[in-house]
Amino acid sequence: MPSAAVIVDVPTMQTNFPYSYAIPPELQAQLQPGMRVVVPFGSGNRQVEGFVVGLQDDDSKHQADDLKPITRLMDLTPVVNQELLALSDWLSQRTYSFRISCLLTMLPNVMKAKYQTTVAPVPPVQNQWLAKVFADQQELPLDQAHFTNREVARLTELRNQGQVQVHYHVKNQAKRKTEVAVVNQITDFSRCAAEIRKNATGQQALLRQLEQQPKTPLRQRELTKVPGISAAVIKTFADRGWVRKVTVEQYRNPYDQPRHPDQPQPLTPDQQRAVTPINKAIRDQQSTVFLLEGVTGSGKTEVYLQTIQQALDQDEQALMLVPEIALTPQMVTRVKNRFGDQVAILHSGLSNGEKYDEWRRINAGAAQVVVGARSAVFAPLPKVGLIILDEEHDPSYKQSDNPRYHTRDVAIWRAQYHHCPVVLGSATPSLESRARAEKGRYQLLRLPHRINQQQLPAIQIVDMTASSERYGDLVSQELVTAIQSTLTRKEQVVLLLNRRGFSSFMLCRDCGYVLKCPHCDISLTMHLDSQTMKCHYCGFETAIPNECPQCHSRHIRYFGTGTEKAEQQLQRLIPKARILRMDVDTTRKKGAHQRILSQFGDQQADILLGTQMIAKGLDFPNVTLVGVLNADTGLDLPDFRASERTFDLLTQVAGRAGRAEKAGQVIIQTFNPQHYAIQLAQQQDYEAFFRKEMQIRHLAGYSPYYFTAQITVSALVEKDAAQESYRILQLLQQNLAQTTEVLGPTPNPIARIKNRYYYQIIIKYKHDEQLAPTLTRVQAISQKEVRKGLRIAIDSDPVNFM
């Protein structure tokens, strides 16, 4: 008796394995691994979504007759292929998360089922209350909106008496749109042409269209755009049997822009030295990992495009991952211009429906190139020939909630599966990747020169501890002068200030009170445009006080400068400058990103002032000055990667200057002018930074010399989080190897967020056989404790310690 192995949508430790279900005879022919099904689960036979991960001919553990049958199919074809099924298994072990969570993150959001429980009275209805509640309704949803807890208890009682029935509904949210298309049935076009009257221009036009593309279904909506072709013309053809009407899936096209086809550009010798080995690996089906270390402006993108072409030439597909695609519309345009409609785009800026459409195009084999952010690494391409991870050091490649995967790891796994190379590209590779290249595990390719012999911009450091008072603490005289002369030359300026809002905290000068978020251990930031004090962690907002909430003194002051205040001050210093501000607050609305950038690109502003979102990938030829208002914001964070992040950010933003024929200039303002991260960013010497930082990591015993794992415990009561973390500490100490070091528990740098108290434990290890089984035990414990409001998060390779 055949049965199906099903992973059910019940994310718990105790259900984290496949359950066997009987396959009803009518489903036996259709059912395949990778399809979603609805299955009865638990005592009430409540209906849940599940993924078929395998089929068995007989089941030794269970007699066929004690298996429950699959209720129904949710898909007609598999939504997870064999590769991704295997990947989900590896991923769940690697990240200590549930298999169902892994499967669901590989798919667009809309494919997660929605559940609804309803209740219906069983006729004849005798109970008066029941009759009154239901009146003429057949059934009602069993939720808070319809029934109070007391009423639910009453319903339970009536159900036990058989007067009420409970129904479980599983709703597939994914709705596909269809449209009408016609398929050509003509074989002899000249004979048909003879049959059409000379003055029937519409019919002639349609015939020409069919002749051009006799094999593909043509969408009616597109066809009727052709002059002369109308619905009536199409109907005439259908009546004659010349075309057949079919319905095809309709896809929303999120980047429906006119295309300017471009051709491969001639390569510099550097680029050629990179392209050759990558293309060879693609041809030879080698799963080599290349680290492409190229300074900003060295032409990495052209290397990507020409290697993608190699994969396409072999009838294979290419996957290109970028940090957050909304930030680099220029990159999307370049790829689309080169490869046209075979490109699919997946990123967080798309609506759920748009993501689903792009995903289906990929799954149907209609896309050959996928460009996308983190989750696009799961794009269901059947035969991958190349995977590119641009800006491979970017922290957004790490998912911060379950499953806590790193895109780089998944990319490498998939490359091994497909026997294809991975290209990790960056101007400032992560220390981990660069170290692997050093050891020969990755193959290092370097692009040390900018294309067209452009000079790297000259970088000047301004020591803000010695800055003149006249200009305040925000902008130095050097920067103001440089901005002014840039504007006189009719060139543009990019300014980075990695802090949003107006002022970062409010302080009472009489009693020393600092206004904090009531839900988090963090001071509230003042925002002038919304006239509120905001918490950047939980979103709490309150009015701006005009007296101290504690002592009612009116001597309150606001300290710290964010982008809002910087904009105001700059405007005062340079009244004629047209300033555009770009941060989370000005880009919240859909498309705002693009609008600000194109305004700046069209020279409608002189200065683009923003947070780190302006550091990446922007390419404006008229920008000749880049200023960093405060290089220190990230430097003193309690994170061993603080220097690396600062170096990356400064290098990245400096690269925005002088990208065309005009020379660029960069001014970095800092209170730590001697710090090596800032010094070496000034020299734009990544290799020197790498060596220096490696020494420091070696001494401190951090990545890449040691692996790290992190356990975070949180609870509503601080004592609970602390106690539990000490219990886990004990478990770790009793089980882990002697050489493994366990740090903590310590309260998180921000000890409370959204009313939860956080404690963390850091594990540093080199080789520890016991680590995986021990963390699995921690995972099991977390399952039990979750009922008491405790949450335990395991991160097998954290990138962020805040």
Binding residues: 508, 511, 517, 520, 535, 538, 548, 551
3-state SS of the chain: helix, strand, coil percent to 5? 35, 25, 40
| Distance from chain centroid for Cα 539 | 21
Dig out the tokens for 167 from the structure: 């129904």
By CB under 7 A, is residue 117 in contact with DNA? yes
By CB under 7 A, is residue 465 in contact with DNA? no
Q: Cβ closer to DNA: 45 or 213?
A: 45
Closest by alpha carbon to 27, among 80, 82, 69? 69
- Whether residue 498 contacts residue 652, with contact meaning beta carbons closer than 8 Å, is answered with no
By CB under 7 A, is residue 215 in contact with DNA? no
By CB under 7 A, is residue 12 in contact with DNA? yes
By CB under 7 A, is residue 96 in contact with DNA? no
Q: Cβ closer to DNA: 122 or 480?
A: 122
Q: Which stretch binds DNA (CB under 7 A): 7-15, 284-292, 379-387, 414-422?
A: 7-15
Distance CA(397)–CA(799), nearest Å, equals 10
Q: Cβ closer to DNA: 131 or 153?
A: 153
Q: Show contacts of 24-32: CB within 8 Å, 24+ apart.
A: 24/69, 24/70, 27/70, 27/72, 27/73, 28/2, 30/73, 30/76, 31/4, 31/55, 31/70, 31/73, 32/77, 32/78
Rounded to a whole number of angstroms, the minimum distance from the CB of residue 12 to DNA is 4
Q: Which stretch binds DNA (CB under 7 A): 66-74, 218-226, 330-338, 498-506?
A: 66-74
Which of 25, 60, 61, 674 binds DNA (CB under 7 A)? It is 61
- Whether residue 110 contacts residue 352, with contact meaning beta carbons closer than 8 Å, is answered with yes
By CB under 7 A, is residue 14 in contact with DNA? yes
Dig out the tokens for 700 from the structure: 């401190």
Which of 32, 46, 252, 704 binds DNA (CB under 7 A)? It is 46
Q: Cβ closer to DNA: 67 or 631?
A: 67
Q: 638: buried, middle or exposed (CB in 10 Å: 19+, 13-18, 0-12)?
A: exposed
- Whether residue 659 contacts residue 297, with contact meaning beta carbons closer than 8 Å, is answered with yes
Q: Which residues are CB-neighbours of 319 under 8 A, at least 6 positions away?
A: 369, 370, 372, 376, 377, 379, 381, 384, 386, 387, 388, 411, 414
Distance CA(756)–CA(717), nearest Å, equals 7
- How many binding residues for DNA (CB under 7 A)? 27
Helix (H) or strand (E) holding 332: helix 329-339
By CB under 7 A, is residue 67 in contact with DNA? yes
By CB under 7 A, is residue 378 in contact with DNA? no
Distance CA(481)–CA(221), nearest Å, equals 57
By CB under 7 A, is residue 264 in contact with DNA? no
By CB under 7 A, is residue 27 in contact with DNA? no
Rounded to a whole number of angstroms, the minimum distance from the CB of residue 425 to DNA is 39
Closest by alpha carbon to 120, among 73, 171, 161, 167? 167
- Whether residue 525 contacts residue 505, with contact meaning beta carbons closer than 8 Å, is answered with yes
Distance CA(559)–CA(518), nearest Å, equals 20
By CB under 7 A, is residue 62 in contact with DNA? yes
The pairing of beta strand 317-321 with beta strand 384-390: parallel
Distance CA(348)–CA(353), nearest Å, equals 12
Half-sphere CA count of 254, side-chain side, radius 13 A: 26
Q: What b/e sequence results for 408-424 when a residue is b if at least 16 CB atoms lie within 10 Å of its CB, and e otherwise?
A: bbbbbbbbebbebbbbb
Beta strand spans in 586-636 (E): 607-610, 623-628
By CB under 7 A, is residue 11 in contact with DNA? yes
Distance CA(197)–CA(17), nearest Å, equals 68
Q: Cβ closer to DNA: 10 or 573?
A: 10
Q: Cβ closer to DNA: 46 or 578?
A: 46
Write the interaction track for DNA spanning residues 760-799; mark x where CB under 7 A is met and - where it is not.
--------------------------xx------------
DSSP state of 520: S
By CB under 7 A, is residue 33 in contact with DNA? no
Dig out the tokens for 279 from the structure: 């293309």
By CB under 7 A, is residue 673 in contact with DNA? no
Q: Cβ closer to DNA: 692 or 777?
A: 777
Q: Which stretch binds DNA (CB under 7 A): 18-26, 305-313, 637-645, 669-677?
A: 18-26
By CB under 7 A, is residue 242 in contact with DNA? no
Which of 24, 44, 365, 638 binds DNA (CB under 7 A)? It is 44
By CB under 7 A, is residue 719 in contact with DNA? no
Q: Which stretch binds DNA (CB under 7 A): 4-12, 247-255, 502-510, 664-672?
A: 4-12
Backbone dihedral region for residue 256 (phi beyond 0: left; psi -120 to 50: alpha; all else: beta): beta
Q: Which of residues 124-153 bind DNA (CB under 7 A)?
A: 153
Q: Which of residues 158-197 bind DNA (CB under 7 A)?
A: 166
Which of 1, 24, 30, 42 binds DNA (CB under 7 A)? It is 42
- Whether residue 791 contacts residue 784, with contact meaning beta carbons closer than 8 Å, is answered with no
Rounded to a whole number of angstroms, the minimum distance from the CB of residue 319 to DNA is 33
Q: Cβ closer to DNA: 37 or 377?
A: 37
By CB under 7 A, is residue 716 in contact with DNA? no
By CB under 7 A, is residue 68 in contact with DNA? yes
Q: Cβ closer to DNA: 115 or 189?
A: 115
Q: Cβ closer to DNA: 4 or 369?
A: 4
Which of 26, 57, 65, 66 binds DNA (CB under 7 A)? It is 66
Rounded to a whole number of angstroms, the minimum distance from the CB of residue 97 to DNA is 13
Q: Which stretch binds DNA (CB under 7 A): 61-69, 200-208, 218-226, 545-553?
A: 61-69
Distance CA(246)–CA(180), nearest Å, equals 6
By CB under 7 A, is residue 446 in contact with DNA? no
By CB under 7 A, is residue 239 in contact with DNA? no
Rounded to the nearest 5°, which phi and psi values hold at 116?
-140, 135
Q: Cβ closer to DNA: 51 or 620?
A: 51
By CB under 7 A, is residue 20 in contact with DNA? yes
Numbered residues of the known binding site for Zn(2+): 508, 511, 517, 520, 535, 538, 548, 551
Dig out the tokens for 707 from the structure: 């692996």
By CB under 7 A, is residue 602 in contact with DNA? no
Q: Cβ closer to DNA: 157 or 547?
A: 157
Closest by alpha carbon to 99, among 5, 3, 8? 8
- Whether residue 703 contacts residue 765, with contact meaning beta carbons closer than 8 Å, is answered with no
Distance CA(404)–CA(710), nearest Å, equals 11
By CB under 7 A, is residue 115 in contact with DNA? yes
Closest by alpha carbon to 275, among 232, 315, 309? 309
* Neighbouring C-beta atoms of residue 218, cutoff 10 Å: 22
**3-class state of residue 501 by DSSP:** coil
By CB under 7 A, is residue 41 in contact with DNA? yes
Distance CA(78)–CA(19), nearest Å, equals 18
The pairing of beta strand 36-41 with beta strand 72-73: antiparallel
Cis status of the peptide bond prior to 24, with omega within 30 of 0: no
Rounded to a whole number of angstroms, the minimum distance from the CB of residue 54 to DNA is 12
Q: Cβ closer to DNA: 26 or 769?
A: 26
* Neighbouring C-beta atoms of residue 74, cutoff 10 Å: 19
Write the interaction track for DNA spanning residues 487-526; mark x where CB under 7 A is met and - where it is not.
----------------------------------------
Q: Cβ closer to DNA: 167 or 516?
A: 167
Rounded to a whole number of angstroms, the minimum distance from the CB of residue 107 to DNA is 19
By CB under 7 A, is residue 15 in contact with DNA? yes
Q: Cβ closer to DNA: 20 or 569?
A: 20
Q: Give the residues lining the site for DNA (CB under 7 A).
A: 10-12, 14-15, 19-22, 40-44, 46, 61-62, 66-68, 115, 117, 153, 156, 166, 786-787
